[in-house]
């Protein structure tokens, strides 16, 4: 594959094509899908260079399908790029742009900067051809920025060529600037084709400006290098340019002589399509001279050449298509053989698997029955042990149940006593209040007692309260650690559902003072002075 790539790079397309056909045939026999796709991509590229677009398109579409299936992004980007170039040659610029943009996306994702520069250049060229100059220039500059960032000199100068083409009509000075940068580039060899293209394009601008001396110098320079490098496209371009200048200067005979030399050269090399172009060019010069006899002769000659070219192209296309379908047939036969072999292998594997399954099943069944018997004996033993344990547990549970019932009964009696005590306390407070006809606060209060008796009272009350509402005080202090002792006592009395008047009498304070104390309590508890929320919170706190 490397040898074929090298031959393609050296423009030895016939040798490369033969090598690639052998590679493709070998890859088809060995069922190497990736190598098939790579060979198809290169075959498509060579057919594109030979202007065999239908065959190139078929090769590339197959390669793209394989590479998509096997998810090979780098190779897929190359195939998409070549397919985009085929569509560009067919003037299907919309499809070409879609393929090139997809290839660009893959190249950017895989950090293939050289390909990304080349694709930006091609996308810009498509926009330029479709007269979308602003878009074209934008993509050209994006490509130049990328090329400069990664020091891709050759890619940058290729973009300069196309940027010059975009500027040629409206900004010829800008076009000249870019062409001269390519010509003066030290990193490009003197015989590099990018440099020759820049010189030829600069000659075209001089021709447009009617500066025939400079244009002729540029064309002659390109011609000399193209002859030495055996570069047919360069020879054809430069001769066309020189003949055009001779015609504009009235040197029609010299133009005809130059074109005739070119015709002889290209007839020897077999490039008949270029011969046809030159003969069409020479007709214009004979028309200037009024030599209609030569014009008629050339017209008939051109028609014959075109017919022969069409026949040759038809025959070539037929041969290529026949070869293509023969390859397809071989591929199908190889696939059929590989399918049959695969089926035979699968059949052998299937019977082997069945034998192994039957053997393993019979061994497994024996082991299973043996294991099952052991398990049954073990289960019986475990069942006997479980029954003994359950009997012991049953005795223990019945004893614990009796003990718990006694404790519950005792607690129930204590709670009943506490309820009675609370009821008595409430009744005492109410009866003492009602027996005070003067309205003065003569209810016996906690604050009237000695400190020792007061402390004893609250300890006794708190202890009894905790029996009725266990954990209430701890929960309250945990949720609201900023409460003092008086606040906690106040909350206990609220929890006991005592009226505020009775609570005021117990604390030996006026109701107004009690309201103030309650207000401060709501603030401490974050209730913002809401009584209803305070009562609800204390009653719901468990």
Domain count across the chain = 1
- Average pLDDT score, the chain: 80
Q: Encode 9-23: b = buried (16+ Cβ within 10 Å), e = exposed.
A: eeeebeebbebbeeb
Q: What is the pLDDT of residue 305?
A: 59
pLDDT at position 428: 53
Nearest-angstrom CA–CA distance, 139 and 166 = 12
Residue from 147, 75, 67 nearest 107 by CA: 75
pLDDT of 55 above 60: yes
Q: Does residue 348 fall inside a structural domain?
A: no
CB atoms within 10 A of CB 232: 16
For CA atoms 422, 426, 427, 431, the dihedral sign is positive
Q: Is residue 170 assigned to a domain?
A: no
- For residue 295, pLDDT beyond 60: yes
**Which among 425, 433, 436 is positioned nearest to 461, based on CA atoms?**
425
In-domain check, residue 210: no
With a CB cutoff of 8 Å and minimum separation 6, the contacts of 519 are 529
Nearest to 164 by CA among 114, 105, 109, 206: 206
Joined together, the tokens standing for residue 293 give 């006899």
For 461-471, how does the pLDDT look when each residue is reduced to its tens digit (9 = 90+)? 888 888 888 88
| pLDDT tier at 500, thresholds 50, 70, 90 | confident
pLDDT bracket for residue 424 (50, 70, 90): low
Structure tokens at 8: 């393609």
Looking at the chain, the whole-number percentage of residues with pLDDT higher than 70 is: 80
Q: What confidence tens digit (pLDDT) does each residue in 406-418 have?
A: 877 776 676 667 6
Q: Would you say residue 313 lies in a domain?
A: no
What pTM was computed for the model?
0.54
Q: At 487, which CATH number?
A: 1.10.10
Inside any domain, residue 256 = no
Tokens of 68: 């998509």
Give dist(CA 506, CA 429) in Å, integer. Answer: 8
Domain assignment of residue 476, given as a range: 451-540
Q: What is the C-alpha separation between 163 and 330, in angstroms, rounded?
A: 47
Classify residue 218: in a domain, yes or no. Answer: no
User: Does the pLDDT at position 215 exceed 80?
Assistant: yes
The three-point CA angle 470-473-476 to 5° equals: 125
Matching residue, tokens 């289960």: 379
Residue 482: inside a domain, yes or no? yes
The pLDDT tens digits for 108-150 are: 999 999 999 999 999 999 999 988 989 999 999 999 999 999 9
* Spatial distance between the Cα atoms of 224 and 234, rounded to a whole number of angstroms: 9
Q: What is the pLDDT of residues 315-356, one digit of tens each?
A: 555 555 555 556 566 666 666 766 777 777 788 888 888 888
443 compared with 176, residue with greater pLDDT: 176
Give the number of other Cβ atoms within 10 Å of residue 268's Cβ: 8
In a domain, 375, yes or no: no
Give the model's confidence band at 507: pLDDT under 50 very low, under 70 low, under 90 confident, else very high: confident
First-to-last C-alpha distance (Å) of the chain: 85
CA-CA distance, 119 to 272, in Å (whole number)?
Answer: 31
Question: Tokens representing 395?
Answer: 């005795």
Task: Compute how many other C-beta atoms are within 10 angstroms of the C-beta atom of residue 438.
Answer: 6
Closest CA to 310 of 51, 20, 485: 51
**Interatomic CA distance for residues 27 and 328, integer angstroms:** 12
pLDDT on residue 252 = 82
CA proximity to 219, closest of 235, 231, 233, 232: 235
Q: Is the Cα dihedral 302, 307, 311, 314 positive or negative?
A: positive
* pLDDT tens string 237-280: 888 888 888 888 888 888 888 888 878 877 776 666 677 777 77
């Amino acid at each position: 594959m490397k040898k074929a790539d090298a031959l393609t790079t050296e423009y030895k397309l016939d040798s490369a094509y033969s090598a690639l056909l052998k590679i493709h045939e070998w890859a088809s026999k060995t069922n190497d899908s990736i190598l098939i796709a790579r060979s198809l991509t290169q075959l498509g590229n060579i057919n594109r260079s030979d202007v065999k677009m239908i065959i190139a398109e078929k090769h590339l579409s197959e390669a793209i399908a394989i590479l998509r299936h096997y998810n090979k992004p780098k190779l897929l980007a190359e195939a998409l790029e070549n397919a985009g170039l085929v569509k560009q040659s067919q003037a299907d610029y919309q499809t070409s742009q879609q393929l090139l943009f997809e290839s660009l996306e893959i190249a950017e994702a895989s950090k293939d900067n050289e390909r990304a520069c080349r694709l930006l250049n091609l996308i810009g060229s498509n926009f330029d051809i479709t007269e979308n100059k602003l878009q074209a220039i934008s993509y050209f500059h994006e490509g130049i920025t990328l090329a400069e960032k990664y020091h891709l000199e050759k890619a940058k100068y290729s973009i300069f060529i196309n940027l010059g083409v975009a500027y040629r009509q409206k900004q010829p000075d800008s076009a000249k600037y870019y062409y001269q940068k390519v010509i003066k580039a030290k990193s490009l060899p003197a015989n590099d084709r990018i440099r020759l293209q820049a010189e030829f394009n600069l000659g075209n601008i001089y021709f447009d400006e009617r500066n025939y001396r400079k244009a002729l110098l540029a064309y002659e320079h390109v011609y000399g290098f193209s002859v030495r490098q055996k570069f047919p496209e360069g020879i054809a371009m430069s001769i066309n340019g020189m003949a055009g200048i001779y015609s504009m200067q009235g040197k029609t005979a010299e133009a005809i002589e130059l074109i005739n030399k070119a015709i002889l050269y290209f007839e020897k090399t077999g490039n008949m399509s270029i011969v046809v172009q030159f003969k069409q060019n020479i007709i214009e010069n004979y028309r200037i001279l009024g030599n209609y006899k030569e014009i008629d002769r050339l017209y008939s000659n051109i028609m014959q050449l075109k017919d022969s070219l069409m026949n040759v192209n038809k025959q070539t296309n037929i041969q290529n298509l026949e070869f293509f379908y023969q390859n397809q047939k071989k591929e199908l036969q190889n696939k059929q053989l590989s399918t049959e072999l695969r089926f035979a292998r699968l059949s052998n594997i299937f019977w082997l698997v069945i034998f192994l399954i039957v053997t393993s099943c019979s061994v497994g069944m024996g082991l299973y029955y043996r294991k099952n018997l052991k398990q049954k004996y073990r289960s019986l033993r475990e069942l006997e042990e479980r029954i003994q344990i359950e009997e012991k547990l049953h005795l223990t549970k019945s004893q614990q149940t009796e003990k718990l019932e006694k404790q519950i009964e005792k607690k129930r009696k204590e709670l009943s006593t506490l309820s009675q005590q609370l009821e008595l306390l409430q009744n005492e407070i109410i009866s003492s209040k009602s027996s005070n006809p003067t309205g003065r606060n003569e209810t016996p209060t906690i604050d009237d007692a000695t400190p020792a008796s007061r402390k004893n009272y609250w300890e006794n009350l708190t202890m009894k309260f905790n029996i009725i509402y266990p954990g209430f005080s701890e929960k309250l202090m945990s949720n609201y650690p900023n409460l003092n002792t008086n606040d906690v006592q106040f909350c206990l009395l609220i929890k006991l559902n005592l009226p505020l008047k009775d609570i005021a009498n117990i604390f030996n304070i006026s109701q107004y003072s009690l309201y103030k104390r309650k207000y401060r309590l709501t603030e401490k508890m974050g209730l913002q002075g809401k009584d209803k929320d305070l009562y609800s919170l204390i009653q719901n706190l468990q």
